[in-house]
Amino acid sequence: MPPARSPADGPDIVVAALSARALAAAARRAGRRPAAIDLFADQDTRQLAEPCIPLPSDGLRLDADALMNALARPELRGLPLVYGAGFEEDPTLLARIAEDRPLLGNRAEVVARVKDPFRFAETLERLGIPHPPVARSLDGPPGDHLLKRIGGSGGGHIATSSTGTARPGWYLQRRIDGHAVSVLFLADGHRAAIVGLSRQWASPTADSPYRYGGGAGPWRCPKCVAQALPGLMSSLAAAFDLVGLNSADFLLNGRGLHLLEVNPRPGATLDVFDRRPMPPLFALHLDACAGRLPDRLPALPGCRAAAVVYADAPTRIDVGLRWPAWTADRPVTPATITAGQPVCTVLGDGTGIRAARRHVERRRRQLAVSAMMELQP
């Protein structure tokens, strides 16, 4: 990571997301001076970005007016912006941002097209890419269908449908079995370059059975998948005019890959893949937005896992908690975290996917045990 910079050095770029820490870290690794806007303003985000501006949080969703007010601060006016999770459900917010500064990522109309589940499914049908069917309503009971919020992220909004009709802003998607696989890729509007594949898992609760739990990569996929993916990802890049870093979520089963969705922005696997000998992914994102893709990317040694730790019950974190170096997204203390909300991220490494996940789970349990002596319920 670059050395700490002087407060006299102003920011040269803005990163914004529900949680902007990973983007801020990626920007620093690429030699940039980020300002950050997100819902948490965690300890490590504040160390990486100046200023680090927290937004009011209502159900882990961005407040558009508060965000625009933050961007209007004198030191941030006109600075280019890179965005992460949280903008998919309101692409018009991206259009507003782009009126007075460069938007380094997919355009608002691209995000709107990708996150419209019905237009997305129609395009996949035309491309011949397998995907679960979607619908606004069904003739009869829901059967094996999931209810999803249009533009939702993180999986916490997904539930088994109890009716055959989705209310406005939601849709039904047929549930299929398989292993969750995510593909991180760069795109220039015509072609794609795959950065890596990761295996993902859920951290389920009774109300949120598909809540995102974590991911580990790189995953060495079967040869038949490896041969098919480059062409498939380039087809997606061209069909939707995708640029920069994006991710695509698949389910893999005996019938092959089934595409669930494309996340048209840098995502959760920055923590997994943005490490040596990989070139800084933030710089590759900016290059791809300008139409430049790398000829080749190096293979990463071993595997890294990143898992989200959630509060099982209302939790108070007092001043003085000693956070291990393998944690990230560390809340500013004292802090009170409501049940179901994220506490931090835990990182772990291994020779393969299973070993990395076991390592991160051991560390998660270790954190819970050590915190019992310092956290007040």
Q: What is the pLDDT of residues 262-299, one digit of tens each?
A: 999 998 899 999 999 999 999 999 999 999 999 999 99
Dihedral of CA 42/46/49/52: which sign? positive
The two three-digit tokens of residue 158, written as one number: 């997904």
Which pLDDT does position 372 carry in this prediction? 46
* Structure letter (DSSP) for residue 103: B
| Residue located via tokens 């300008």 | 290
Q: How many residues does the chain have?
A: 377
Q: For residues 136 and 171, is the Cβ–Cβ distance under 8 A? A: yes
Q: What is the pLDDT of residues 143-179, one digit of tens each?
A: 789 999 999 888 888 998 888 899 999 999 999 999 9
Task: Tell me: pLDDT of 374 over 60.
Answer: no
Task: Tell me: pLDDT of 363 over 90.
Answer: yes
Q: What is the pLDDT of residues 301-338, one digit of tens each?
A: 999 999 999 998 888 888 888 899 999 999 999 999 98
Q: For residues 156 and 202, is the Cβ–Cβ distance under 8 A? A: no
How confident is residue 7, by pLDDT bands cut at 50, 70 and 90? very low
- pLDDT > 90 in the chain, percent: 81
Q: For residues 249 and 178, is the Cβ–Cβ distance under 8 A? A: no
| Greatest Cα pair distance in the chain | 64
* Structure letter (DSSP) for residue 74: G
How far is Cα 74 from Cα 90, in angstroms, rounded to an integer?
Answer: 25
